[in-house]
Amino acid sequence: MSDNDKSAVAIEDMRFRLLIDAVVDYAIYMIDPQGVITSWNSGARRFKGYEEAEILGEHFSRFYTAEDRAAGLPQRALDTAIGEGRFEGEGWRVRKDGTHFWCHVVIDPIFSPDGQLLGFAKITRDLTDRKMAEETLKQSEQQFRLLVQGVSDYAIYMLSPEGRVTNWNPGAQRIKGYTPEEVIGQHFSMFYTLEDRAIGEPQRALETAVREGRFENKSWRLRKDGTRFLAHVVVDAIRGETGSLLGFAKITRDITEAHQAQEALERTREALFQAQKMQAIGQLSGGIAHDFNNLLTVILGNLEILGKRVGDDPKVNRLLENATQGALRGVSLTQRMLAFARRQELKTEPVNIDQLVQGITGLLRSSLGPGIRIETAFADDLEAVLADTNQLELAVLNLATNARDAMPEGGSVMISARREVVLEPAQSSLAPGRYVCLSISDTGTGMDALTLASAMDPFFTTKGLGKGTGLGLSMVHGFIEQLGGRFILKSQQGHGTTAELWLPVADNAATARPHDQNADAAAVPRLSVLVVDDDSLVLTSTTLLLEDLGHRVVSAISGAQALQLFDQGEVIDLMITDMAMPQMSGAQLAHAVRLLKPDLPIILATGYADRLEGFSANLPRLPKPFTQLNLLEVIAQSMT
């Protein structure tokens, strides 16, 4: 080789060394056949920490961890490079300062032209950052897997792009009942109902998730045992970095209990709204009936006085009779309104249901007509109930008449009774105790849900204009509620109607309210009667009726004025006072007068049943509207 050639080779070697030394991201160095380091570049110096003077002549195994050296990995790497022509691997290495780093290593054997091993070229790359990122990702994936596997309240699982289950968490097993072995590989449509599968709901869910990225819905799903549960479902489409569909993530939550609780809350709210509505209407009806009773008291009282004074003129008497009958119809109407408002005067007593129904069977047959068949069925162990006999008879007749109207082509009415026991307060608000459930069922047209919801509202009727007051069912409702029972209507369009009257059983101490219809009115002496009423028309009418009976009447328009009369020394033998008066009620006035005159007879006149306490509850009552005969009877009762 000429000097020029040698010079050129030297220059080329110099350039190669400069190139190798300029590489700072790779450790590139040579080792001899025994593994001793013979060269060192700047990249090796940068991330291994050794200067060239410190490392040349040292064995390359010093970069390995103690564990790897003990396992003979350095020599194994050289042997592999010789035997296979190359060694490549990754592992932990040690820097000069003792810290570890993860590296990728390539070792190539270097042979002379005649095949003699000259040594090895070793290239090392520091991959610590990548390794740490992989470890972090691996740890995150493991934590996520543990999290998913630890969730038992949600079914969390993956689907392939075709919709087949690829994994299964314990929440899915708990909610749906399948083990992973039973469900992985199966199509997720197996959880859908037959109806939803028939309309393609599973495929629609996946298509929506693919198109919009997410699908969310609430619907019924099937468990392994065939039972249904209401599920809240979310399906998310999972895509790769290139946008290709990898599958779906599916999360299902069982919301059956929450749904049932919400339905119960809605029913409670509806019941509360209905109760508030009925209470408001009841208060309105009671107030109207009270004022109407005052007017009827005036009308009937004046008609009665007028009838005594016109003589025997047939035409005038016919007019008076028609006016009286019209007023009595008004009385019947107000009684129904008061019954609905639960302010009706009731005369409660033990009533045998079987005997009561048998006693009015003849009236029922004649009222319902030949096209209606009446059947009865009563339990043998029925107890007597606490009720107003007349009002209960009227309620049964009313319900039977409604049943007849619902069967224009004829049919049957079943009247039955059974014992019931309420152990705990139910949603019906019935108090714990023993009851008799009296049922009147028909085979008529029935009612739809909307009609049934309004059936007990006052003035609601389906009989057409002028064919009903709309107070029949509301009257029954109010009457039964006032007794402490409950009125229940059950109906379905095309399948008839059942009306249930839940009546409290009468205890041994229950007795009929005492009343004497045979009082000897003629034996009552002429009295000085104090009449107290804030309605001037009622006050005048009552005065006229009493004066017509020969009594002396002193009147007052308020409780305060009445007390002034006592203070002035007015001679009073009997006081008749209205109940509903402003500032001082009739009961309050009676209490004040009783303190002044302990032995003075007192009568309470009222348009509806007031709840009274103390001695006022035992005072004689004069229900409005009243006639002169009613006055005679109550005065005779109070003076005995």
Average pLDDT over residues 180-200: 93
Instruction: Report the pLDDT value the prediction gives residue 194, as an integer from 0 to 100.
Output: 93
Looking at per-residue confidence, does 118 or 463 come out higher? 118
Instruction: Report the pLDDT value the prediction gives residue 416, as an integer from 0 to 100.
Output: 92
Q: Are residues 559 and 591 in the same domain?
A: yes
What's the DSSP call for residue 459? T
Q: Are residues 421 and 533 in the same domain?
A: no
Lowest mean pLDDT among 16-25, 106-115, 432-441: 16-25
- Domain finish residue from 340, 369, 400: 340
Residue 142 lies in a domain: no
Instruction: Kindly report the average pLDDT of the chain as a whole number.
Output: 81
Average pLDDT over residues 362-374: 83
- Spatial separation of the C-alpha atoms in residues 293 and 608, rounded to whole Å: 9
User: By C-alpha distance, which of 303, 309, 290, 325 is closest to 628?
Assistant: 303
Q: Are residues 437 and 463 in the same domain?
A: yes
Instruction: Report the pLDDT value the prediction gives residue 196, as an integer from 0 to 100.
Output: 93
- Spatial separation of the C-alpha atoms in residues 603 and 619, rounded to whole Å: 6
Query: Model confidence at 81, in pLDDT bands (50, 70, 90)?
Result: very high
Domain interval for residue 541 = 521-639
Lowest mean pLDDT among 51-55, 84-88, 208-212, 282-286: 282-286
- Spatial separation of the C-alpha atoms in residues 151 and 259, rounded to whole Å: 21
- Model confidence at 253: pLDDT above 70: yes
Query: Model confidence at 513, in pLDDT bands (50, 70, 90)?
Result: very low
- Domain finish residue from 254, 283, 298: 254
Instruction: Report the pLDDT value the prediction gives residue 284, as an integer from 0 to 100.
Output: 58
Q: Are residues 531 and 404 in the same domain?
A: no
Percent of the chain with pLDDT over 90: 30
Instruction: Report the pLDDT value the prediction gives residue 36, as an integer from 0 to 100.
Output: 94
Instruction: Write 479-483 long-range contacts (CB < 8 A, 24+).
Output: 479/339, 479/342, 479/344, 479/346, 479/388, 479/391, 479/392, 479/395, 480/395, 481/342, 482/339, 482/342, 482/343, 482/344, 482/346, 482/609, 483/346, 483/348, 483/386, 483/387, 483/388
What does the pLDDT look like over 408-417, one tens digit per residue? 888 999 999 9
Length of the chain: 640
What's the structural domain count of the chain? Answer: 5
Report in angstroms the alpha-carbon separations of 197 from 110, 192, 206, 219, 360: 69, 6, 13, 12, 59
Instruction: Report the pLDDT value the prediction gives residue 8, as an integer from 0 to 100.
Output: 52
Q: Are residues 286 and 221 in the same domain?
A: no
Residue 138 lies in a domain: no
What does the pLDDT look like over 584-623, one tens digit per residue? 988 899 999 998 999 999 999 886 655 565 667 778 888 8
The CATH number assigned to the domain holding 192 equals: 3.30.450.20
- Spatial separation of the C-alpha atoms in residues 577 and 342, rounded to whole Å: 22
Query: Model confidence at 286, in pLDDT bands (50, 70, 90)?
Result: low
User: By C-alpha distance, which of 343, 321, 613 is closest to 474?
Assistant: 343
What does the pLDDT look like over 383-435, one tens digit per residue? 899 887 877 887 888 888 888 888 888 899 999 999 988 887 654 567 888 89
Q: Are residues 229 and 326 in the same domain?
A: no
